[in-house]
Amino acid sequence: MVEELLKYPKALALSVLFHLVIIIAIVINFQFFDKPKLVQMGTQVKTIQAKVIDSKQLEESKQKQKTQKAEQRKNELKKIALEEKAKELKQKKQKEKEKEKEKEKKQKVEAQKKKLEKQKKTAQAKEQAAIKRKKDAKKKERLKAQKNAEAEKQAAKEKAARIKIKQAKQKQAAEAAEKKKLAEEQKKQEADKRRQAEQEQKRKEAELNAKLEAEESSRRLSTLRQKYINDIREAIERNWRRPRESGKVESCEVRMIQGPGGIIVDVTFGDCSGGTSAYRASIENAVYKAEPLPKPGDPALFERELNFIFNPK
């Protein structure tokens, strides 16, 4: 309860002031109570006894009220003392908290100060290191310049010696090149003669090989073409069925037009004067049954129009 009152200091002050006013009013009231008036002589004994009893009861009542008020005052003072103690405790805690904050603030300031000093030392160290690097770099550049100067001097001497040696070698090389040129020229002339002879020999051999290859290719194509025609004839003859009414079978010239893949487009006849219409029809049926026609051994031999003599045995 004290902690709740401490949260509202104005209300607490008003409460204390109110209780003080009540206490002062009670004290003043005790001082101004009417004293019992003296009873005149001659009043009856009964009346005096009643008044004595009433006075005694009144005194006891006043004493009781005084005791209650004293107890109430004591409790109020005790409450006020507790509130004051709580207030002091709160103020003490507030002071301790402020001291702790001040301590933390000082610690932060000290830490910041140390950090700045560390940064300053680090910066100084970096600066000194940079100065040292610059000095080392300058020293290194001087040594490098000295070495370069010595190297250039030595290189100039070596260059002069090389030029002298080179000139001597160039003279020897020129003489050797002249001799080599003459020898190469002679060698080239001899090589040209040999090459011309070889080319002529190769040309003759190539012509002979080409002629032999052409003859061989012609024979091969002729053989393949003959086989191609024979394969077609045999395929047609396998599918031919002799007509019943036909007598002697005559040879007949058959002309065919085929499409890609050996598909028959048209069938006509050339010299077939000895054959009947049924005989020609049987040949035509055999041709259509034989499709697709056999493929040639070489695609170059494919012909759209084919002619052959049909003469079954």
Instruction: For residue 296, give every residue at least 6 positions away whose Cβ sits within 8 Å of its Cβ, in sequence order, or none.
Output: 224, 225, 228, 302
pLDDT, position 8: 65
187-219 residues labelled b (16+ CB within 10 A) or e (exposed): eeeeeeeeeeeeeeeeeeeeeeeeeeeeeeeee
pLDDT, position 256: 93
Q: Residue 271, SS3?
A: coil
**pTM listed for this prediction:** 0.34
pLDDT higher than threshold 80 for residue 178: yes
pLDDT, position 247: 63
Secondary structure of 63-107 in HEC code, one letter for each residue? HHHHHHHHHHHHHHHHHHHHHHHHHHHHHHHHHHHHHHHHHHHHH
pLDDT tens for residues 93-146? 898 998 888 898 989 888 898 998 899 888 888 988 888 999 888 888 888 988
Percent of the chain with pLDDT over 70: 84
Instruction: For residue 300, give every residue at least 6 positions away whose Cβ sits within 8 Å of its Cβ, in sequence order, or none.
Output: 221
pLDDT, position 263: 92
